[in-house]
Amino acid sequence: MDVIRVYGGTRLAGEVPVAGAKNSALKLMAAALLAPGRTTITNAPGITDISIMAEVLRRLGCQVEVDGGDITIDTPEELSPEADYNLVRRLRASICVLGPLLARCRHARVAHPGGDAIGSRGLDMHVAGLSRMGADIGSEHGFVVARAAQLTGAQIWLDFPSVGATENILMAAVLARGTTVIDNAAREPEIVDLADMLNSMGAQVSGAGTATLEVTGVESMHPTTHRTVGDRIVAGTWAFGAVMTRGDVTVQGVRAANLSVALDKLTDAGAAIAELPDTDGVPAFRVTIDRRPTAVDVVTLPYPGFATDLLPMAIGLGAVSGGVSLITENIFDGRFMFVNEMSRLGADIRTDGHHAVVRGRERLSGAPVRASDIRAGAGLAIAGLCAEGTTEVSHVHHIDRGYPHFVEQLRALGVKAERCTVPDDDFGY
């Protein structure tokens, strides 16, 4: 079993480049299904989820090449309408092929998705939105099956600003007949990124970044070349790591504005945040702190609120801050599953429903811990830097799904970290 081993007592310091957003690149790859021909996506992250999504597209009939941060997708005139069960169950984001396949093929058969174990994430809003556009959708033998002789524009209200539902409905709507309006749509930068790519392919999408998206359907679309927006969650991870370790980190590739609430919390904790001038079009910001951080309260909310994906880092910050933090999770019911692992490091955490009370300690204690999902794994590794002794994080395949070159970037920021293989029995899980 692979583990990431970190040695505590060293601050993060230096510059760290952040690649394109996982939560955008995967959806951009699905959008390539909407136009026959060669689409190129640049600035993609080098993570395992990209490889899985590439194979999903290959099984649909595309030719896909991944070369560093560049992905080329040759989409055929005729696509297979069925997304492979064994691949889709490994990657929740692959459900986003449902909208494009339905729009292009008038028929789609997509396995129910897998992904992180962080709680219930149903497809009800995906189904309701596509049904409003004229699709007949059901479930059979573990697959979502959708058919529509012709998708038509509709007025769609989402009960919750779901990112996945917004993306699927948006990608189906670009080839529908008439105009579709999505109210209470997700507003994340990744939604704006997807809309920008769709418009560059010939779509007519307006309102991205607001709660109302308007899509006027077009007859056909064409391939494009598009650069993926920087990963604000990875950037936020390094920003929190800088504050937890009392460090000095310059994060390159993400605009501070895309993390405004999280960075405001770090400012309240005692950090200095400085937005730096772009270098060759690449944005950057710097996070510095030279004392123990002060406890802050955090409430996760849909964008532009505090991102649920940064909750493990917020709990890690509370665990080493002076004072008591109240952390409230409003998005996923299983997000606190990793708390027992953080407690293994000596963190004082008490949970009650969707609240966690974290009493800060001057220093944590290194221990073997297990990553239960992508963000929990990264949060545990960063917390290990604040612990006496050595921390070993197992099940690091989760971290590989969201953080390219994680150990190498830790080292570049001046801490001692390594990835190694140990026998399962040695670890205790």
Give how many domains the chain has, as a whole number: 2
pLDDT score for 333: 79
User: Using an 8 Å Cβ cutoff, are 213 and 206 in contact?
Assistant: yes
The last residue of a domain, from among 227, 246, 276: 227
Binding residues for UDP-N-acetyl-alpha-D-glucosamine: 92, 309, 331
Claim to verify: residue 165 and residue 270 sit in the same structural domain: no
Give the span between the Cα atoms of 100 and 33, in whole angstroms: 6
The reply to whether 49 and 154 lie within a common domain is: yes
- The reply to whether 166 and 279 lie within a common domain is no
Identify whether residues 273 and 260 lie together within a single domain: yes
177 and 311 inside one domain:
no
Q: Which amino acid is at 134?
A: G
The pLDDT value given to residue 1: 86
Closest C-alpha among 162, 157, 139, 59 to residue 101:
59
**pLDDT for the residue 114:** 54
Note down the domain range covering 30: 22-227
Total-model pTM = 0.94
The CB density around residue 168, as the number of other CB atoms within 10 Å, is 27
Q: Where are the beta strands (DSSP E) in 291-416?
A: 298-299, 324-328, 348-352, 355-359, 364-365, 368-370, 387-388, 390-394
The tens digit of pLDDT for each residue in 218-242 reads 999 999 999 999 999 999 999 999 9
Q: What is the mean pLDDT of the chain?
A: 94
pLDDT number for residue 409: 98
Return the HEC string of 56-121: HHHHCCCEEEEECCEEEEEECCCCCCEECHHHHCCCHHHHHHHHHHHHHHCEEEEECCCCCCCCCC
Average pLDDT on 9-30 reads 97
pLDDT, tens digit (0-9, with 9 covering 90-100), for 361-401 = 999 999 999 999 999 999 999 999 999 999 999 999 999 99
User: Does 22 score more than 70 pLDDT?
Assistant: yes
What are the residues whose beta carbons fall under 8 Å from the beta carbon of 139, sequence distance 6 or more?
A: 112, 145
Distance from C-alpha of 167 to C-alpha of 427, rounded to nearest angstrom: 40
> Can you give the pLDDT at residue 117?
41
Quote the tokens at residue 261. 């609430």
CB contact set of 425 (below 8 Å; sequence gap of 6+) = none
Q: CB neighbours of 161 closer than 8 A, spacing ≥ 6?
A: 184, 185, 186, 187, 211, 302, 303
Same domain? 223 vs 241: no
pLDDT score for 425: 62
pLDDT tens for each residue of 247-297? 999 999 999 999 999 999 999 999 999 999 999 999 999 999 999 999 999
**Running DSSP on this structure, what letter comes out for residue 228?**
P
Which DSSP state fits 181?
E
Extract the tokens encoding 58. Answer: 């290959």
Co-location of 257 and 312 in the same domain? yes
Based on the residue annotation, tell me whether 116 is a catalytic residue of this protein: yes
| 318 in the same domain as 374 | yes
Taking residues 133-145, report their average pLDDT: 89
Query: Is residue 85 pLDDT above 90, yes or no?
Result: no
Burial status of residue 211 (CB atoms within 10 A of its CB: 0-12, 13-18, 19 or more): middle
The span from the CA of 345 to the CA of 358, in Å, is 13
| Model pLDDT, residue 92 | 72
Structure confidence at residue 245 as a pLDDT band (50, 70, 90): very high
User: Which residues does the annotation place in the binding site?
Assistant: 22-23, 92, 309, 331
Lowest average pLDDT, out of 65-69, 78-82, 122-126, 200-204, goes to 122-126
CATH code for the domain of 410: 3.65.10.10
Say yes or no: 247 and 156 in one domain: no
**56-70 pLDDT per residue, tens:** 999 999 999 999 999
**Comparison of pLDDT for 357 and 114, the residue scoring more:** 357
Residues 111 and 220 in one domain: yes
Active-site residue identified among 2, 70, 84, 116: 116
**Last residue of a domain, which of 166, 198, 227?**
227
Domain boundary among 162, 192, 227: 227
The C-alpha atoms of residue 135 and residue 209 are separated, in whole angstroms, by 26
With a cut of 80, say whether residue 199 has pLDDT above it. Answer: yes
Encode pLDDT of 146-196 as tens digits: 999 999 999 999 999 999 999 999 999 999 999 999 999 999 999 999 999
Domain co-membership, 219 together with 246: no
Whether 28 and 163 map to the same domain: the answer is yes
**213 has a pLDDT exceeding 90:** yes
